[in-house]
Chain A
């Protein structure tokens, strides 16, 4: 708890600095990442984040120390080469995109590890910090490095905001952009530069291996919650910042703990929550929506069976008769009867069940839709009367009042369905 207060009250100015840095970094990379996620180029981000490693090592070798300018420069050059290579190979060979990305990722990363080993053999005392570039260590960042990464993050955020219209056009319909005379190739180039830079700003805090997660996961998780680009970008930024700070806090509390993996763990948690609980797209929502639909189907089946009994001159059905109609679903049937009774659609007298007035109207509606649909299939789609029942059994629960009106007018308010059964209406 002491740690917690000390960390989040920012008594230590260097912690405040790091948190500001992580916030900028999170917003910047989530911003770029959301666009590349929408552009379906998520794998390219992964390739770039692995491909910057050899550049970092070469930068270190050239400078002989952990000079941030050399390291950022080296990372940029090798990231750019990887990006260029992937598009060149795609245009000039018959290799598929996934093959190209997978090869570039592993070749560059392998080469980077070779260089890292070489540097370790030299015994340069400065190299101790170099391992941090793999999994990241936010707490270990020096203040002067923070200025560079933070500055780059601000640059990324500003550029994306200024060119929002152009980047949206690039992702949504680049061909149209070209047709109206926009320099789409330059815009794509600028976007690729931003993508490389957004990987670079995270190399020290998050590490090259896991930076791809911070690029793509926030946008992917936020997509569950919204259909609006502006909301999507804000939400992705918030997700990235929350997990960035959580990761930093953990690596602050536990010594020797790398930041990157914890950022990814908190991000995954946010993604999991989105996947499960987001309205409309979330699993839980969809589960309940499906369940509701099934319940509605069962209720309507019960109403329908009682209505059919009244057509045969009975005044209702006993529970046993209903069980016999749906022998597999006794429990559900009983539940449906209880619910329908509660909604005043049914009268349950001892074991005998009959329809109330509103129940009759509702039952007629379902039977009417069923028989109208059968008539439509038979008349307009030339389907034989003995083949129309199955489809109507499903669609009677789906057809909207608008479609009902359309069916009625198309079929000219028919009296009978293809089986010569009466199509019931409210005024009968």
Chain B
């Protein structure tokens, strides 16, 4: 069940991604509507983060292309915001919450220039939106997991983008924070922003997302929540990895070179 849309905000065409020796995403082909809260679901190792990184150009494609707002990534980069996984950075880095959030303004600011009053105001407003104003001056090493996540989301808000890509923003976050962030994201979608979130909990996914992408090394489904969350598709997504596909991956890995890459 893969539903394609007219005038998509994001179009992924026949995308295959390989890491080192083995493919992680096979021929993903989908298009997404604007102003929706979209979830990417799938088991561990299904390629959820890889899909987001491929959209952001952080990993190379073996084949296929991605179009955002019907353009290439580099033409619209300033309209896209990316939230990496919380664990991907060293939170002992000696810097303050405000400084991290200000990084969100770097894209528009450009290289060389230093952030000034305007950037600081944007950063403070973004912190306000995630309820972290009181922490602006704190060192990031003093934050709890949930607070770190809020800081990363505030940094994304400071980018003032139209499309948001978030990699596991709810990992290690307590219930109250999760609900608060979900409400914030829903409001953003209502205001016309598109938000794509990698997520693993099917219960809260059912509650909040408008549209879902279900992955398990290949695209299982993409469509409105009510149409894709069926017993059959859930089993295809979470019912273990496809045995045959895993074996093919294993053969490619043992070959020591990946024929899918170039």
Which of A175, A183, A223 has a CB less than 8 Å from the CB of B58?
A175
Cβ contact within 8 Å between A38 and B94: yes
Looking at the complex, which of B103-111, B168-176, B221-229 is the stretch in contact with chain A? B103-111
| B77/A180 in contact, CB under 8 A | yes
Q: Which of A173, A179, A182, A232 contacts B94 (CB 8 A)?
A: A232
A residues in contact with B155, CB < 8 Å: 176
Known: A165-B115, A178-B58. A226 touches B103 (CB 8 A): no
Interchain nearest-CB distance for B175 vs A (Å): 14
Q: What are 14 A-B pairs at a CB distance below 8 A? A: A38-B93, A169-B106, A172-B93, A173-B89, A176-B103, A177-B106, A178-B57, A179-B80, A179-B84, A181-B77, A181-B107, A227-B139, A228-B95, A229-B95
Q: Mark B127-141, 1 if CB is under 8 A from A, else 0.
A: 000000000000101
> Which 4 A-B residue pairings sit nearest by Cβ, starting from the closest?
A180-B107, A179-B82, A227-B139, A181-B77
Alpha-carbon separation in the docked complex, A162 to B78 (Å): 23
Q: Which of B155-181 contact A (CB under 8 A)?
A: 155, 159
The smallest beta-carbon distance between A225 and chain B, in angstroms, is: 11
Q: Which residue of B lies closest to A231 (CB)?
A: B94
- CB distance A228 to B139 under 8 Å? yes
Flag if B112 contacts A162 (CB, 8 Å). Answer: yes
Interface size on B, residues (CB 8 A): 29
Whether a CB of chain B sits under 8 angstroms from the CB of A171 is yes
CB-CB under 8 A from B232, the residues of chain A are none
What mask results when residues 199 to 214 of chain B are scored 1 for a CB within 8 Å of chain A, else 0?
Answer: 0000000000000000
Cβ of A103 under 8 Å from chain B? no
Q: Are B88 and A175 in contact (CB under 8 A)?
A: yes
> Is A300 an interface position by the 8 A CB rule?
no
- Residue in chain A with minimal CB distance to B106: A180
Specify the chain A residue showing the minimal Cβ separation from B82.
Answer: A179
A60 CB to closest chain B CB, in angstroms? 39
Q: Does B255 contact A (CB under 8 A)?
A: no
Would you call B262 an interface residue if the criterion is a C-beta within 8 Å of the partner chain's C-beta atoms? no
Nearest chain-B residue to A227 (Cβ)? B139
Which residues of chain A come closer than 8 Å to B112, judged between CB atoms?
162-163
Residues from chain B with a CB closer than 8 A to the CB of A182 are 106-107, 111
Q: Is A168 an interface residue (CB 8 A)?
A: yes
Considering residues B77, B107, B111, B115, which has the most beta carbons from chain A within 10 angstroms of its beta carbon? B111
Chain B 84-122 interface 0/1 with A at a Cβ cutoff of 8 Å (1 = within): 100011100111100110010011000110110000000
Tally of contacts, chain A with chain B, CB under 8 A: 67
CA distance A181 to B112 in the complex (A): 14
Question: What is the minimal beta-carbon distance from A232 to any residue of chain B, in angstroms?
Answer: 5
- Which chain A residues lie closer than 8 Å to B100 at the CB level? 172
Give per-residue flags for A102-124: 1 if the beta carbon is below 8 A from chain B beta carbons, else 0. 00000000000000000000000
Chain A residues near B115 (CB, 8 Å)? Answer: 165
Q: How far is the CA of A240 from the CA of B139 in the complex (A)?
A: 25
Among A166, A169, A175, A229, which residue has its beta carbon within 8 angstroms of that of B84?
A175
**Alpha-carbon distance between A279 and B82 when the two chains are bound, in angstroms:** 37
A34 to chain B, nearest CB (A): 10
In the complex, the answer to whether A172 meets B95 with C-beta atoms within 8 Å is: yes
Cβ of B143 within 8 Å of any chain A Cβ, yes or no, is no
CB-based nearest B residue for A168: B95
- In the assembled complex, the Cα of A14 lies from the Cα of B84 at a distance in Å of 54
Within 8 A of B (CB), among A324-343: none
A165-B110 Cα distance, complex, nearest whole Å? 11
Partner of A172, one of B82, B89, B159: B89
Residues of B contacting A176 with CB < 8 Å? Answer: 82, 84, 103, 155
Chain A: minimal CB distance from B99 (Å): 8
State whether A181 and B74 are in contact (beta carbons under 8 Å apart), knowing that A162-B112, A173-B88 are contacts in the complex: yes
B-facing residues in A175-204 (Cβ within 8 Å): 175-183
Q: Which size bracket describes the interface of A in this complex?
A: 20 to 34
- Complex Cα gap A216–B57 (Å): 34
Q: Which residues of B contact A (CB under 8 A)?
A: 56-58, 74, 77-78, 80, 82, 84, 88-90, 93-96, 99-100, 103, 106-107, 111-112, 114-115, 139, 141, 155, 159
CB-based nearest B residue for A181: B77
| B-facing residues in A205-252 (Cβ within 8 Å) | 223, 226-229, 232
Q: Tell me which of A168, A172, A180 has the highest count of chain B C-beta atoms within 10 A of its own C-beta.
A: A180
Bound state CA distance, A176 and B115, in angstroms? 17
A34 closest partner in B (C-beta): B94
Question: How far apart sit A171 and B84, CA to CA, in the bound complex (Å)?
Answer: 15
Other than the given A176-B82, A179-B84, 9 more pairs (CB < 8 A) read: A38-B94, A172-B90, A172-B93, A175-B88, A179-B56, A180-B106, A180-B107, A228-B139, A232-B94
Chain B residues whose C-beta falls within 8 Å of the C-beta of A179 in the assembled complex:
56-58, 80, 82, 84
Q: Please report the C-alpha to C-alpha distance between residue A180 and residue B111 in the assembled complex, in whole angstroms.
A: 11
User: Of B56, B77, B103, B159, which contacts A173 at CB under 8 A?
Assistant: B103
Cα-based distance from A270 to B96 in the complex (angstroms): 26
Q: How far is the CB of A216 from chain B (nearest CB, A)?
A: 16
Assembly CA distance A162 to B155 (angstroms) = 23
Nearest-neighbour CB distance to chain A for B56, whole angstroms, equals: 5
Chain A residues with CB below 8 A from B58, complex form: 175, 178-179
In angstroms, how far is the closest chain A Cβ from the Cβ of B162? 14
> A180 contacts which chain B residues (CB < 8 A)?
77, 82, 106-107, 159
Note all chain A residues with C-beta closer than 8 A to B103.
169, 172-173, 176
CB proximity of B140 to chain A, nearest CB, Å: 9
CB proximity of A189 to chain B, nearest CB, Å: 14
**Contact: A173 with B139, CB < 8 Å?**
no
- Complex CA–CA separation, A226 to B96 (angstroms): 12
Contacting residue for B114 out of A40, A165, A173, A177, CB 8 A: A165
Partner of B93, one of A162, A171, A226: A171
- Complex Cα–Cα for A176 and B90 (A): 13
B74 surroundings in chain A (CB, below 8 A) = 181
Chain B residue with the shortest CB-CB distance to A173: B89
Q: Which residues of B contact A173 (CB under 8 A)?
A: 84, 88-89, 103
A-chain residues with CB within 8 Å of residue B141 when the two chains form the complex: 227
| Complex: chain A residue closest to B95, CB-CB | A229
Neighbour of A227 across the interface among B77, B94, B159, CB < 8 A? B94
Residues of B near A162 (CB, < 8 A) are 112
Chain A residues closer than 8 Å to B99, beta-carbon distance: 168
Chain B residues contacting A183 (CB-CB under 8 Å) are 111
